[in-house]
């Protein structure tokens, strides 16, 4: 701000440059929604590798198609994933959703009255039978025999006699006013248990001042993994932020992967997601500027079934924010001695998008010889060129087996990519680049809100947005050899007339010339006639 000129001398003032750097957002954060062995329910959790998934969600599980999709995602180049675990409780024969551990060796009142005890109930940090493997060791040997409110606690997860996870807490207390109150400490630090309740003294005899071990899963406290999830569990509620709508609790995702609700080897057509479900998922992705990967129907096992004009791919709703891959893949299951099973290609496709983005950029089609599929044995359907030619004009991205290249992704269209639709969003890299620009500019222009709406503001907008677009041009994201040919940024009195200024509106026009993938390569060969020298 201007200096107050009070004395003769030299004054130094710093003048803002008007430069506000717009940073591009991530392009391939993939969200997965489905069933898992353990972990928080209806809460998005960010993971960076499959080891993170094993620690938080229990790793591979035969009943979890999500676990195999996540493994295939990272195996094919995936970088960051967001996991939403859904859980469906059984209505019969299940005592608990989360395992409980009941301790009767403490005095919840904190009074330390000898000869009396209260009940402290701990609950596993997540739903599922994994909590039945928990055990808690209470140790009061370091404390006064008359002080029944203080103790040390060790929480262990024991599988097959081996401790696979352990947490140790010292100097805990059941006095809620104390900084080491057991409920507060477990809530802030424990990944295994939390405090469910503390009850008043019961008058039961106090056990000796030696470590006391209590195991979960005793009658009344055991838990179940629940039953197979259904479409409603994955869909969830937008108002309650459950199922896929739990992703509204996270800041950003670019790709939505919804693995089948049951393993494909035992699935029937009744286990398919409905067209209404996919329409809701696509609408959700529109709002979040993301792409959803649509799974093949369970009974689509041939090219003819996919190309059928009534019951095939054409029966699905076409949308520029959805993409479809066919066929399913065959891969070994490590949990069944690597027996060959069928899996949806959604995790693989998302991983290849992430790998291509990292190596080449979001404007490069995630397809071609470089888009090789890793970690599978074969494709469920091995297509010929002519069969590929039936599906490609519909907007189906085929997975092919190519000599010398192996299994590859051989298509880069959105579901709006059918030739008959003539959509400007025909190609997946064009759509994903547009979403990337939209999200980056949306976040990078928040500073504009409430600024004085006139030429000084407009010039700053042109400067900053133009710098962002020019950086993309230099990376090769657009057509054209000059910036004028590749993009434009317009924000002035022609885009924002006085009527819009009066309404508090500033209009920014941004255009770009996208790169289209070379989908068809035509080589023309001509025989030259012999030349007669004169």
In a domain, 220, yes or no: no
Task: Express the helix, strand and coil content of the chain in percent, nearest 5 each.
Answer: 30, 20, 50
At residue 278, does pLDDT exceed 90? yes
Beta carbons within 8 Å of 389's beta carbon, 6+ residues apart:
none
Residue 398 sits in the same domain as residue 254:
yes
User: Within a domain: residue 55?
Assistant: yes
| 375 occurs within a structural domain | yes
Residue 333 lies in a domain: yes
pTM of the model: 0.90
Q: Does residue 523 share a domain with residue 481? A: yes
Rounded to whole angstroms, the Cα distance separating 513 from 245 reads 34
Of 5-19, 70-84, 94-108, which range is least confident? Answer: 94-108
pLDDT at 237: 95
Query: Domain containing 412 — which CATH number?
Result: 3.40.50.11780
Same-domain pairing of 295 and 379:
yes
Picking from 148, 183, 215, the residue at the C-terminal end of a domain is 215
The reply to whether 320 and 364 lie within a common domain is: yes
526 shares a domain with 493: yes
pLDDT tens readout for residues 196-255: 888 755 444 334 445 666 676 665 657 888 889 999 999 999 999 999 999 999 999 999
Residue 180 has pLDDT above 80, yes or no: yes
Q: Is residue 4 part of a domain?
A: no
Question: Is 491 among the domain residues?
Answer: yes
The last residue of one of the domains, among 396, 429, 462, is 429
Q: In 3D, which of 120, 100, 126 has the Cα closest to residue 221?
A: 100
**Whether residues 45 and 115 fall in one domain:** no
Average pLDDT taken over every residue of the chain: 90
Whether 361 and 510 map to the same domain: the answer is no
Residues 6+ apart with CB under 8 A from 442: 289
Tell me, yes or no, whether 317 and 371 share the same domain: yes
Looking at the domain assignment, is residue 438 inside a domain? Answer: no
387 and 291, same domain (yes or no): yes
Name the domain count of the chain. 3
Q: What residue numbers bound the domain in which 506 lies?
A: 454-534
Q: Helix axis angle, 65-75 relative to 50-57, nearest 10°?
A: 160
Residue, of 63 and 146, whose pLDDT is higher: 63
Above 50 in pLDDT, residue 39?
yes
Kindly list the distances between the CA atom of residue 524 and the CA atoms of 273, 386, 519, 521, in Å, as whole numbers in the listed order.
46, 21, 16, 10
Tokens of 255: 């790709």
- 206 and 166 belong to one structural domain: yes
- Verify that 135 and 280 share a domain, yes or no: no
Cα–Cα distance measured from residue 110 to residue 74, given in angstroms and rounded to the nearest whole number: 50
Residue 411 clears pLDDT 60, i.e. is over it: yes
In 3D space, the residue among 366, 290, 364, 285 whose CA is nearest the CA of residue 325 turns out to be: 366
Give the dihedral sign, CA 118/119/125/131. positive
Q: How confident is the model at residue 117 (pLDDT cuts 50, 70, 90)?
A: low
94 lies in a domain? Answer: no
> Does one domain contain both 275 and 379?
yes
């Amino acid at each position: 701000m201007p200096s107050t000129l009070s004395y003769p001398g030299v004054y130094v003032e710093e003048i803002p440059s008007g430069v506000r750097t717009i940073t591009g957002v991530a392009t391939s954060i993939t969200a997965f929604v489905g069933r898992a062995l353990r972990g928080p329910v209806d809460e998005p959790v960010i993971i960076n590798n499959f080891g993170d998934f094993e620690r938080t969600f229990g790793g591979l599980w035969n009943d979890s198609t999500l676990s195999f999709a996540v493994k295939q995602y990272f195996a094919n180049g995936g970088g960051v994933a967001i996991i939403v675990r859904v859980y469906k409780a059984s209505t019969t024969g299940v005592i608990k959703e989360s395992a409980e551990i009941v301790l009767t060796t403490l005095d919840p009142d904190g009074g330390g009255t000898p000869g009396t005890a209260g009940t402290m109930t701990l609950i596993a940090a997540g739903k599922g039978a994994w909590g039945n493997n928990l055990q808690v060791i209470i140790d009061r040997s370091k404390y006064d025999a008359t002080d029944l409110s203080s103790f040390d606690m060790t929480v262990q997860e024991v599988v097959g006699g081996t401790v696979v996870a352990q947490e140790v807490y010292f100097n805990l207390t059941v006095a809620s006013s104390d900084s080491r109150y057991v409920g507060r400490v477990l809530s802030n630090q424990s990944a295994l248990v939390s405090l469910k309740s503390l009850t008043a003294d019961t008058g039961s005899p106090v056990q000796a001042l030696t470590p006391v071990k209590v195991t979960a899963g005793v009658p009344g406290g055991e838990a179940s993994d629940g039953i197979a999830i259904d479409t409603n569990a994955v869909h969830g509620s937008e108002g309650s932020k459950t199922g896929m709508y739990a992703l509204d609790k996270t800041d950003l995702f670019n790709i939505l992967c919804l693995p089948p609700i049951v393993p494909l080897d035992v699935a029937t057509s009744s286990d398919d997601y409905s067209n209404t479900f996919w329409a809701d998922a696509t609408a959700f992705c529109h709002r979040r500027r993301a792409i959803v990967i649509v799974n093949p129907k369970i009974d689509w096992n041939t090219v003819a079934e996919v190309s059928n004009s009534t019951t095939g791919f054409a029966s699905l709703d076409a949308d520029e924010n959805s993409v479809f891959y066919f066929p399913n893949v065959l891969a070994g299951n490590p949990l069944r001695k690597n027996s060959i099973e069928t899996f949806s290609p959604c995790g693989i496709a998302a991983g290849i998008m992430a790998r291509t983005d990292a190596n080449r950029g979001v404007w490069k089609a995630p397809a071609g010889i470089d888009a090789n599929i890793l970690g599978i044995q074969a494709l469920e359907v091995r297509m010929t060129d002519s069969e590929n030619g039936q599906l490609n004009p519909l907007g189906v991205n085929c997975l092919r087996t190519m000599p010398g290249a192996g299994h590859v992704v051989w298509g880069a269209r959105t579901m709006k990519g059918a030739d008959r639709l003539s959509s400007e969003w025909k190609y997946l890299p064009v759509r994903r680049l547009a979403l990337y620009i939209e999200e980056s500019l949306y976040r990078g222009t928040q500073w504009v809100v409430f600024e004085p709406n006139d030429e000084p503001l407009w010039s700053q907008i042109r400067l900053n947005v133009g710098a962002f677009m020019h950086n993309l041009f230099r990376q090769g994201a657009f057509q054209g050899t000059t910036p004028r040919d590749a993009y434009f940024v317009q924000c002035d009195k022609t885009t924002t007339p006085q009527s819009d200024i009066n309404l508090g509106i500033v209009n920014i026009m941004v255009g770009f010339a996208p790169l289209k993938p070379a989908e068809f390569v035509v080589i023309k060969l001509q025989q030259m006639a012999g030349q007669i020298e004169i």
